[in-house]
Amino acid sequence: MKLHKTFLAAAAFAAGMTLHAQNASNLLIQTNKIGAEVQPTMYGLFFEDINYAADGGLYAELVKNRSFEFPQNLMGWNTYGNVVLMNDGPFDQNPHYVRLGNAGHNHKHTGLENEGFFGIGVKEGDEYRFSVWARGKNQKIRVELIKNNTMEEGQAFVAEDLNINSDEWKQYELTFTSPRTEPKARLRIFLETPGTVDLEHISLFPVDTYNGHKNGLRKDLAQALAETNPGVFRFPGGCIVEGTDLDTRYDWKKSVGPVENRPLNENRWHYTFKHRFFPDYYQSYGLGFYEYFLLSEEMGAEPLPIVSCGLSCQFQNEGEHTHVAVCDLDGYVQDALDLIEFANGDVNTTWGKVRADMGHPAPFNLKYIGVGNEQWGPEYPEHLVPFVTAIRKAYPDMLIIGSSGPDSEGKQFDYLWPEMKNIKVDLVDEHFYRPESWFLSQGNRYDNYDRKGPKVFAGEYACHGKGKKYNHFNAALLEAAFMTGIERNADIVTMATYAPLFAHVEGWQWRPDMIWFDNLNSVRTCSYYVQQLYSHNKGTNVVPLTMNKKPVSGQEGQNGLFASAVWDAPTNMYIVKVVNTSDQPQPVSLNFAGMKKNTKLANGVLITLSADHPDLENTIENPNLITPQETAVMIDGNVLETEIAPNTFALYKFSKETNS
């Protein structure tokens, strides 16, 4: 554990008090003015299948193109011997499968091999479940894991036989324990008998998924999400909600029901950036809306689905985007209403029954729905109105989120906010991927927002620092600084979600991101820790914190400091967040004013996030370089004289105790 500079010498600390008091920034915390509620939804997560976040990431399936439905049907597969692609399989939305026949000679082999997502990662001692839909009488296949780019070329380190015993399509399963750790294995299947066998939906999952679900999530990644205690979980994006064209928008109805029959969709991130082109990036929808709702529930987060408003991605189409005429929007509006029924409807409703049949008869208690992602121009409000009208009529309590477009300010933003007020959406989604200077200047962004209009959902944001490449510490520090302004304005900002969430180190398209991973490991970035610290310490109410009667938001004369304070009723605690964005140590007095005579502050804790250099970052190789450090802190009376190290996020907690 790192020792914060403040605590280096208790004696020197006392001697230096007078000098300290003269130079210190005096932060006044008015403990007796318990203010606006901090909503439980305040700090949450934004999920989009970008950077292989779903297939190849959070969705624990290890086989790519398991249903042979990629446009090049055998993409990701090598075949040997007598393999024929067929298209009259048992699943109407995924009709392709492969037929393995005799290779023609005793010594020839028929089989196929899957490359996985950047290889198949397996861990020594972990159990894996192979499953396949198959047809064939008295046939046998061998299922292998191989690593064939080493001296052990072609040698299987897992080899299991599976008997196929029916002319009817049936699902077969086998589990095995991997004898070794291998980040880039391949799955090989051989036909072992002289006849014919048909194979479809070839799948390999770790048995130990998050909460043990069969069609489950990669445990370390889901765990990292859950450990932020998210208040809200937004899905499925992002631009993929919109689609490059409307046919490829995220159609939630295709993402539910039996996983074998969920049709493939393209993923626009496969071709969005030519320099990061991933021709094998598709959406299997194996991680679909049921799984998103379930994950939200298991993490204790409010689910927040975003639906298409009938406008495809305006970025991708450079002004010529396709859209459904407003008069033809009925199907899209019905999709939104049906989604609410899927989440909340009784098991006797059409869509409530689909949910129940999938294993969740109880409703998911959906309270929020977003309509459209980063839409802009007059088409957006025109398209939004029919959704708002229909949802209000059918579900008057549903909270509806509209968009303020792709920018944090400017023409579209200025146009859309008043439109959103007129339409009376409940929250407006704001997006800001902005440089350091923006984050430094926006500490007071929400101080003068109209309190009578919709609330704010800061739905996508991240500091895109130098070179826009890294998750370096400085970007996270400035996010922490900016977030004090969100917290101080919790009466108007009720949700905030960093974005994007995940990135595969080999398959990313967009950075920075909150969590990076490869096939076996994951790393929590400094931005992750900032989000986590806020979320774990959001408190229940804002408490005024000022310096010279002004909010501490990095303004001139405030020494690069940003600060906010909250009260946490269940734990009886004051929590103060101070961010020193300057490269100088800052002497600070935390003055807890308004405490009653019979109360005192106790059990002080300081958590700091700091780095030896602002450009450092956590990496797969060195995941714990920068992590929050916790120490006890003593307070003498109601004033803490301290010093905050340069470039440091400091979070103080004191419980309020009543003297006996």
Q: Catalytic positions, please?
A: 374
Phi, psi of 416 (to 5 degrees): -75, -35
Report the 10 Å Cβ neighbour count for 46: 27
Only one of the segments 206-214, 232-240, 249-257, 334-342 lies at the binding site for ligand AHR (rule: CB under 6 A); that segment is 232-240
Q: Which of 373, 474, 494, 531 binds ligand AHR (CB under 6 A)?
A: 373
Nearest to 258 by CA among 48, 97, 67: 67
Cα dist. 650→30, 329, 575 in Å? 19, 50, 10
Footprint of ligand AHR on residues 423-452 (CB under 6 A)? 431
Phi, psi of 172 (to 5 degrees): -115, 155
Tell me how far, at minimum, the Cβ of 320 lies from ligand AHR, in Å.
18
Strands (E), 178-244: 182-191, 197-206, 232-235
Only one of the segments 237-245, 294-302, 575-583, 631-639 lies at the binding site for ligand AHR (rule: CB under 6 A); that segment is 237-245
Q: Which of 56, 76, 136, 237 binds ligand AHR (CB under 6 A)?
A: 237
Nearest to 127 by CA among 221, 18, 207, 188: 207
Distance between CA 316 and CA 375 in Å, rounded?
Answer: 12
Beta-bridge partner residues of 660: none
Q: Starting at the earlier edge strand, list the strands of the sheet with 599-610.
A: 541-543, 561-568, 573-580, 648-658, 599-610, 629-633
Tell me how far, at minimum, the Cβ of 650 lies from ligand AHR, in Å.
29
The answer to the question of residue 374 lying near ligand AHR (CB under 6 A) is yes
Nearer Cβ to ligand AHR (351/432): 432
Tell me how far, at minimum, the Cβ of 48 lies from ligand AHR, in Å.
5
Nearer Cβ to ligand AHR (122/313): 313
Q: Which of 187, 499, 542, 650 binds ligand AHR (CB under 6 A)?
A: 499
Tell me how far, at minimum, the Cβ of 434 lies from ligand AHR, in Å.
12
> How many Cα atoms are found within 13 Å in the side-chain-facing hemisphere of 61?
25
Beta strand 545-547 with 550-551 is antiparallel
The DSSP result for 92-132, as a single string, is TTS--EEEEE--SSTT---EEEE-BTTBEEE-TT-EEEEEE
493 touches 446 (CB < 8 A): yes
Distance between CA 506 and CA 537 in Å, rounded?
Answer: 34
Tell me how far, at minimum, the Cβ of 54 lies from ligand AHR, in Å.
13
Q: Which of 500, 507, 544, 551 binds ligand AHR (CB under 6 A)?
A: 500
Nearer Cβ to ligand AHR (47/342): 47
Tell me how far, at minimum, the Cβ of 3 lies from ligand AHR, in Å.
38
Tell me how far, at minimum, the Cβ of 101 lies from ligand AHR, in Å.
44
Only one of the segments 59-67, 236-244, 381-389, 589-597 lies at the binding site for ligand AHR (rule: CB under 6 A); that segment is 236-244
**In Å, how far from its chain's centre is CA 78?**
33
Q: Which of 24, 27, 29, 50 binds ligand AHR (CB under 6 A)?
A: 50
Beta strand 97-101 with 197-206 is antiparallel
440 touches 478 (CB < 8 A): yes
Amino acid at 452: K
Q: Which of 38, 48, 185, 427 binds ligand AHR (CB under 6 A)?
A: 48
Tell me how far, at minimum, the Cβ of 435 lies from ligand AHR, in Å.
15
Tell me how far, at minimum, the Cβ of 339 lies from ligand AHR, in Å.
19
> How many Cα atoms are found within 13 Å in the side-chain-facing hemisphere of 537?
28
Total residues binding ligand AHR (CB under 6 A): 13
Phi, psi of 325 (to 5 degrees): -60, 145
Only one of the segments 54-62, 75-83, 187-195, 231-239 lies at the binding site for ligand AHR (rule: CB under 6 A); that segment is 231-239
The DSSP result for 513-577, as a single string, is -SEEE-SS-EEE-HHHHHHHHHHHT--SEEE-EEETTEE-BS-TTSTTEEEEEEEETTTTEEEEE
Distance between CA 180 and CA 229 in Å, rounded?
Answer: 33
Cα dist. 218→48, 57, 293, 537 in Å? 16, 7, 16, 27
Quick one: tokens of 437? 């200077």
Q: Which of 112, 122, 221, 239 binds ligand AHR (CB under 6 A)?
A: 239
Per-position x/- string for 385-424, each x denoting binding to ligand AHR as judged by CB under 6 A, each - no binding: ---------------------x------------------
Nearer Cβ to ligand AHR (144/513): 513
Quick one: tokens of 455? 């609330």
Nearer Cβ to ligand AHR (114/404): 404
Distance between CA 338 and CA 351 in Å, rounded?
Answer: 7
The answer to the question of residue 68 lying near ligand AHR (CB under 6 A) is no
Nearer Cβ to ligand AHR (141/501): 501
Return the SS3 of 75.
Answer: coil
Footprint of ligand AHR on residues 451-470 (CB under 6 A)? 460
Quick one: tokens of 327? 């008069």
Tell me how far, at minimum, the Cβ of 241 lies from ligand AHR, in Å.
8
Distance between CA 640 and CA 79 in Å, rounded?
Answer: 70
Nearest to 315 by CA among 471, 510, 464: 510
The answer to the question of residue 259 lying near ligand AHR (CB under 6 A) is no
Tell me how far, at minimum, the Cβ of 501 lies from ligand AHR, in Å.
9
Tell me how far, at minimum, the Cβ of 469 lies from ligand AHR, in Å.
16
Residue of closest CB approach to ligand AHR: 238
Cα dist. 7→28, 416, 586, 625 in Å? 22, 49, 14, 21
Q: Which of 130, 281, 292, 510 binds ligand AHR (CB under 6 A)?
A: 510
Interface residues with ligand AHR (CB under 6 A) are: 48, 50, 237-239, 373-374, 406, 431, 460, 499-500, 510
